[in-house]
Amino acid sequence: MDCPVFTRYATREMSQIFSEEAKIQRWLKVEAALAEAQAELGIIPKEAAEEISKKANLNYVSMERIKEIEKRIDHDLLAVVNALAEVCDKGYGRYVHMGATSYDIEDTAWALAFRDALLIIRNRLKELVKILISKAKEYKELVCIGRTHGQHALPMTYGMKFALWSYDIFGCIKRLDFFLNNAIEGKMSGAVGTFAGFGDKGIELQNKVMEKLSLKPSLITNQIVQRDKFADIIYLLAVISACLEKMAKEIRNLQRTEISEVLEPFSKEQAGSSAMPHKRNPHRSERICSLARYLRALVHVALENVALEHERDLTNSANERIILTHSFMLTDFMLLEMISIIKGLTINVKNVQRNLNLMKGANLSERILIKLVEKGLPRHVAYEIVKNAAIKSFEEDLDFVELLYENELIKEKMTKDELKQLVNPYEYIGLSKEVVDLTIKQIEQLIS
């Protein structure tokens, strides 16, 4: 049975990076870099390195032959080594992989894959930030009700929602850049990290190999690059997915029939339900939330891989074939999905305004409380008056201002017209516009 990650969610770009052919080509590329570095240091003949480099690609080394050898010896990396050695002329194949261990090749190749895949993710994040900033500018002045604990709180703007999301995604870009610049490392240190197979030129050799591949050399390893670095990358992708889930969950909630402020894109021929033709389900946002749960679960597996036995065991190997490819592929899919959702998002301004005034001004209780205190009423007294009026207004569907004005203490402090002015939601959005402008300005200055 085909895996849905590959058949349903994999993008073309990520499929190209994590295909079996691409993996083998990376292994061959590392083998070529090793041979070239060894020749430069006089460890193997120059002619041998030239032959190995020439043949270290899938034009010479066939996938079919690799699979034939692997079936016999049950070792995928060694099958590649043997297949490469076979096609090298003049006996130069004997110099392939000399002094190296499997994970010198595999972990260095992983680093190449991480770099390429993270650059794709970065481009998606950057595109998403730009779209969110565009939406923040478009809706900077659209006043809406803010919600805390699922309840109506104070007025804010839709511009703030989009600007906040852009700041979240910008934070993901900064984390990703730190990882790209500091944590992608390769190794060429041998079976237990001592460089024994390369003699006294091991450290110099490792540096040369990594220079050829534009990678940083790991300062110290055992047989593998330490798996805390792999856990970091899985965690990074899980954080990105969590930020996307945060946006998707808000869109889902705002699309509830009772709220109906936001609508996912919905094509003319699209169906929401097989049984109920009226349904317009936020299924794309729900899908993002679903995949984010799976990605978070992979962090646990990655952390389990950190504490391997002695200089390493193989308990990380099988699951890494799954968690690394799945994490990148699903994160990439989720980003493209969210980019499409935000681009086509519909804001129902009429319902935004309806919900903003749903509590008849009671949600402006903070503003009234502050004004009463300023006019000399003790805070605890003012708080009780406003709270009781708000509750009664909501429960009995009565006018909030009229209820407040029935209180003699309120009458002593302000007029009814003053009260009505205080419950105007459009006049109590604080520095919403300024915060949006400041956020956009700083992100646009720093993003590249």
Active site residue 273: yes
The catalytic position among 214, 273, 290, 300 is: 273
Q: How does DSSP assign 341-361, residue by residue?
A: HHHT-EE-HHHHHHHHTTTTT
State how far Cα 154 lies from the chain centre: 30
**H runs (alpha helix) in 344-447:** 349-356, 365-374, 379-396, 400-405, 408-413, 416-422, 432-446
Residue type, 235: Y
How far is the CA of 413 from the CAs of 369, 380, 425, in angstroms?
12, 16, 21
- Are β-strands 151-157 and 143-148 bridged in parallel, bridged antiparallel, or unpaired? antiparallel
Active site residue 149: yes
| C-alpha torsion sign, points 104, 204, 209, 326 | positive
Give dist(CA 174, CA 246) in Å, integer: 18
Give dist(CA 333, CA 325) in Å, integer: 12
The vertex-167 CA angle with 299 and 343, nearest 5°, equals 95
Give residue for tokens 């929602």: 161
Give dist(CA 327, CA 233) in Å, integer: 9
Contact 277, 331 (CB under 8 A): no
The catalytic position among 149, 278, 310, 380 is: 149
The residues annotated with a catalytic role in the active site are 149, 273
